[in-house]
Protein backbone atom coordinates (compact mmCIF):
# COMPACT_ATOMS: atom_id res chain seq x y z
CA UNK A 1 0.00 0.00 0.00
CA UNK A 2 1.19 3.51 -0.86
CA UNK A 3 0.06 7.09 -0.26
CA UNK A 4 0.75 8.74 -3.62
CA UNK A 5 3.25 11.12 -2.03
CA UNK A 6 6.39 10.83 -4.16
CA UNK A 7 9.64 10.48 -2.22
CA UNK A 8 12.05 11.03 -5.08
CA UNK A 9 12.42 11.20 -8.83
CA UNK A 10 14.84 8.50 -9.99
CA UNK A 11 16.66 8.05 -13.28
CA UNK A 12 16.56 4.87 -15.38
CA UNK A 13 20.17 3.66 -15.29
CA UNK A 14 19.83 0.60 -17.51
CA UNK A 15 17.21 -1.55 -19.25
CA UNK A 16 17.92 -5.25 -19.82
CA UNK A 17 15.66 -7.39 -21.95
CA UNK A 18 14.80 -10.73 -20.38
CA UNK A 19 12.91 -13.77 -21.76
CA UNK A 20 9.62 -12.85 -20.08
CA UNK A 21 9.97 -9.13 -19.51
CA UNK A 22 12.40 -6.37 -18.66
CA UNK A 23 14.90 -5.70 -15.90
CA UNK A 24 14.79 -2.04 -14.92
CA UNK A 25 17.71 -0.48 -13.03
CA UNK A 26 16.88 2.83 -11.36
CA UNK A 27 19.33 5.24 -9.76
CA UNK A 28 18.26 7.38 -6.81
CA UNK A 29 20.23 9.34 -4.21
CA UNK A 30 17.36 9.07 -1.72
CA UNK A 31 18.01 5.48 -0.73
CA UNK A 32 21.77 5.96 -0.45
CA UNK A 33 21.26 8.96 1.83
CA UNK A 34 18.89 7.00 4.07
CA UNK A 35 21.40 4.16 4.37
CA UNK A 36 24.09 6.63 5.45
CA UNK A 37 21.75 8.09 8.07
CA UNK A 38 21.18 4.59 9.42
CA UNK A 39 24.90 3.96 9.73
CA UNK A 40 25.19 7.14 11.81
CA UNK A 41 22.94 5.66 14.47
CA UNK A 42 19.43 6.38 13.21
CA UNK A 43 16.86 4.00 11.82
CA UNK A 44 17.93 2.24 8.67
CA UNK A 45 15.21 3.07 6.16
CA UNK A 46 17.07 2.29 2.93
CA UNK A 47 15.70 -0.29 0.53
CA UNK A 48 16.14 -4.00 1.23
CA UNK A 49 15.85 -6.89 -1.18
CA UNK A 50 12.21 -7.84 -1.53
CA UNK A 51 10.88 -4.39 -0.65
CA UNK A 52 7.94 -3.02 -2.61
CA UNK A 53 8.51 0.27 -4.41
CA UNK A 54 6.08 2.09 -6.68
CA UNK A 55 7.65 3.22 -9.95
CA UNK A 56 5.31 5.67 -11.68
CA UNK A 57 2.64 4.20 -9.43
CA UNK A 58 3.31 0.57 -10.41
CA UNK A 59 4.27 -1.65 -7.48
CA UNK A 60 7.48 -3.58 -8.20
CA UNK A 61 9.84 -5.64 -6.05
CA UNK A 62 13.47 -4.67 -5.43
CA UNK A 63 15.52 -7.63 -6.69
CA UNK A 64 19.05 -6.15 -6.66
CA UNK A 65 20.92 -3.40 -4.83
CA UNK A 66 24.16 -1.77 -5.93
CA UNK A 67 24.80 1.45 -4.08
CA UNK A 68 22.19 3.89 -5.26
CA UNK A 69 21.08 1.67 -8.17
CA UNK A 70 18.09 -0.61 -7.53
CA UNK A 71 16.95 -3.38 -9.85
CA UNK A 72 13.37 -4.41 -10.64
CA UNK A 73 11.70 -6.86 -13.01
CA UNK A 74 8.57 -6.07 -15.00
CA UNK A 75 6.67 -8.79 -16.84
CA UNK A 76 5.13 -8.58 -20.30
CA UNK A 77 1.65 -7.73 -18.99
CA UNK A 78 3.00 -4.93 -16.80
CA UNK A 79 4.94 -3.48 -19.72
CA UNK A 80 1.87 -3.67 -21.94
CA UNK A 81 -0.60 -2.14 -19.50
CA UNK A 82 1.59 0.62 -18.00
CA UNK A 83 3.96 3.26 -19.34
CA UNK A 84 6.96 1.33 -17.99
CA UNK A 85 7.18 -0.23 -21.44
CA UNK A 86 7.99 3.24 -22.83
CA UNK A 87 10.98 3.87 -20.57
CA UNK A 88 14.42 4.66 -21.99
CA UNK A 89 17.80 4.99 -20.33
CA UNK A 90 17.74 8.44 -18.74
CA UNK A 91 13.95 8.52 -18.27
CA UNK A 92 12.76 10.07 -15.02
CA UNK A 93 10.43 8.04 -12.81
CA UNK A 94 8.48 8.73 -9.63
CA UNK A 95 9.49 6.62 -6.63
CA UNK A 96 7.66 5.82 -3.42
CA UNK A 97 8.39 3.15 -0.83
CA UNK A 98 5.48 1.20 0.60
CA UNK A 99 3.58 2.61 3.54
CA UNK A 100 4.63 1.56 7.04
CA UNK A 101 2.10 1.04 9.82
CA UNK A 102 1.99 4.26 11.82
CA UNK A 103 3.09 6.52 8.95
CA UNK A 104 1.16 9.71 8.30
CA UNK A 105 -1.45 9.35 5.59
CA UNK A 106 -0.92 12.52 3.59
CA UNK A 107 -2.30 11.44 0.22
CA UNK A 108 -4.84 8.63 -0.23
CA UNK A 109 -4.69 4.84 -0.25
CA UNK A 110 -2.91 3.73 -3.43
CA UNK A 111 -2.48 0.01 -4.10
CA UNK A 112 0.19 0.20 -6.80
CA UNK A 113 -2.02 -1.74 -9.24
CA UNK A 114 -2.49 0.29 -12.42
CA UNK A 115 -6.02 0.37 -13.82
CA UNK A 116 -5.16 1.77 -17.23
CA UNK A 117 -3.30 4.32 -19.28
CA UNK A 118 -4.43 7.91 -19.69
CA UNK A 119 -3.10 10.57 -22.02
CA UNK A 120 -2.25 14.21 -21.32
CA UNK A 121 -4.68 16.09 -23.55
CA UNK A 122 -3.76 19.66 -22.68
CA UNK A 123 -1.91 21.72 -20.10
CA UNK A 124 -2.40 25.36 -19.25
CA UNK A 125 0.21 27.28 -17.29
CA UNK A 126 -0.92 29.98 -14.88
CA UNK A 127 2.17 31.51 -13.35
CA UNK A 128 3.92 28.80 -11.33
CA UNK A 129 0.74 26.70 -11.31
CA UNK A 130 -0.62 24.49 -14.06
CA UNK A 131 -3.91 22.87 -15.07
CA UNK A 132 -3.56 19.48 -16.73
CA UNK A 133 -6.32 17.73 -18.68
CA UNK A 134 -6.20 13.96 -19.14
CA UNK A 135 -8.11 11.64 -21.46
CA UNK A 136 -9.21 8.45 -19.71
CA UNK A 137 -10.46 5.09 -21.09
CA UNK A 138 -14.25 4.93 -20.93
CA UNK A 139 -14.50 2.13 -18.30
CA UNK A 140 -12.48 4.22 -15.84
CA UNK A 141 -14.54 7.38 -16.23
CA UNK A 142 -17.22 5.91 -13.96
CA UNK A 143 -14.65 5.98 -11.15
CA UNK A 144 -14.06 9.73 -11.45
CA UNK A 145 -15.73 12.44 -9.41
CA UNK A 146 -14.98 16.10 -8.87
CA UNK A 147 -12.96 16.51 -5.65
CA UNK A 148 -12.26 12.78 -5.67
CA UNK A 149 -8.80 11.21 -5.59
CA UNK A 150 -6.77 9.66 -8.40
CA UNK A 151 -3.15 8.53 -8.74
CA UNK A 152 -1.41 9.75 -11.91
CA UNK A 153 2.00 8.11 -12.40
CA UNK A 154 1.81 7.30 -8.69
CA UNK A 155 1.05 10.88 -7.62
CA UNK A 156 -1.97 11.42 -5.40
CA UNK A 157 -4.05 14.19 -6.98
CA UNK A 158 -7.47 15.72 -6.44
CA UNK A 159 -9.77 15.81 -9.45
CA UNK A 160 -10.97 19.33 -10.29
CA UNK A 161 -13.53 18.60 -13.00
CA UNK A 162 -14.76 15.56 -14.92
CA UNK A 163 -15.82 15.83 -18.57
CA UNK A 164 -16.85 13.43 -21.34
CA UNK A 165 -13.21 12.57 -22.11
CA UNK A 166 -11.56 12.48 -18.69
CA UNK A 167 -10.63 14.88 -15.93
CA UNK A 168 -8.54 17.89 -14.96
CA UNK A 169 -6.23 18.61 -12.03
CA UNK A 170 -4.60 21.76 -10.65
CA UNK A 171 -0.90 21.34 -9.91
CA UNK A 172 0.96 23.44 -7.39
CA UNK A 173 4.60 24.45 -8.06
CA UNK A 174 5.94 21.84 -5.62
CA UNK A 175 4.23 18.97 -7.45
CA UNK A 176 5.58 20.20 -10.78
CA UNK A 177 9.12 20.40 -9.39
CA UNK A 178 9.17 17.25 -7.22
CA UNK A 179 7.58 14.78 -9.67
CA UNK A 180 7.74 13.90 -13.35
CA UNK A 181 4.56 15.84 -14.12
CA UNK A 182 6.63 18.98 -14.58
CA UNK A 183 8.27 17.48 -17.67
CA UNK A 184 5.24 15.73 -19.13
CA UNK A 185 4.21 16.87 -22.62
CA UNK A 186 0.84 16.83 -24.36
CA UNK A 187 0.32 13.36 -25.80
CA UNK A 188 2.33 11.55 -23.10
CA UNK A 189 0.80 8.44 -21.58
CA UNK A 190 0.42 8.24 -17.81
CA UNK A 191 -0.41 5.41 -15.43
CA UNK A 192 -3.79 5.75 -13.75
CA UNK A 193 -5.08 4.17 -10.57
CA UNK A 194 -8.57 5.25 -9.61
CA UNK A 195 -9.82 5.41 -6.05
CA UNK A 196 -10.40 1.95 -4.60
CA UNK A 197 -13.76 2.92 -3.08
CA UNK A 198 -15.01 4.14 -6.46
CA UNK A 199 -14.18 0.71 -7.94
CA UNK A 200 -16.34 -1.08 -5.39
CA UNK A 201 -19.25 1.33 -5.90
CA UNK A 202 -19.04 0.87 -9.69
CA UNK A 203 -18.95 -2.90 -9.22
CA UNK A 204 -22.08 -2.81 -7.07
CA UNK A 205 -23.97 -0.90 -9.75
CA UNK A 206 -22.80 -3.36 -12.41
CA UNK A 207 -24.13 -6.20 -10.27
CA UNK A 208 -27.56 -4.62 -10.28
Whether the per-residue pLDDT at 11 is higher than 60: the answer is yes
- For residue range 83-97, what is the model confidence (pLDDT) as tens digits? 999 999 999 999 999
Edge-to-edge strand order for the sheet containing 8-18?
58-61, 52-55, 92-97, 8-18, 21-27, 69-75, 64-66
Q: Residue 124's pLDDT band (boundaries 50, 70, 90)?
A: very high
- For residue range 54-70, what is the model confidence (pLDDT) as tens digits? 999 999 999 999 888 99
Do the beta carbons of residue 81 and residue 117 sit within 8 Å?
Answer: yes
Lowest mean pLDDT among 24-28, 45-49, 96-100, 153-157: 45-49
Do the beta carbons of residue 169 and residue 160 sit within 8 Å?
Answer: yes
Buried b (16+ CB within 10 A) or exposed e, 46-75: bbeeebbbbbbbbbbebeebeebbbbbbbe
The mean pLDDT value for 122-143 works out to: 94
Q: Residue 159's pLDDT band (boundaries 50, 70, 90)?
A: very high
Whether the per-residue pLDDT at 192 is higher than 60: the answer is yes
Where does residue 126 rank: exposed (0-12), middle (13-18), buried (19+ CB within 10 A)? exposed
- For residue range 104-113, what is the model confidence (pLDDT) as tens digits? 778 888 999 9
Res 35: pLDDT: 52
Higher pLDDT, 195 or 130: 130
Identify which of 14, 38, 13, 15 has the alpha carbon closest to the alpha carbon of residue 28.
13
Whether the per-residue pLDDT at 43 is higher than 80: the answer is no
Domains and CATH numbers, the chain: 8-97 (2.40.30.20), 116-207 (2.40.30.20)
Amino acid sequence: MFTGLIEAVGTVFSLIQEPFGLRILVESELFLQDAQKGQEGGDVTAVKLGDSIAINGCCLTAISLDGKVIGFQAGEETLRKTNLGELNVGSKVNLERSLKVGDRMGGHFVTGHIDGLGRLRDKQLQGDWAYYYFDVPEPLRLHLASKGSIAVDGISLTVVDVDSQGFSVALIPHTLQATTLGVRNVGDQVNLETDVLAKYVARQFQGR
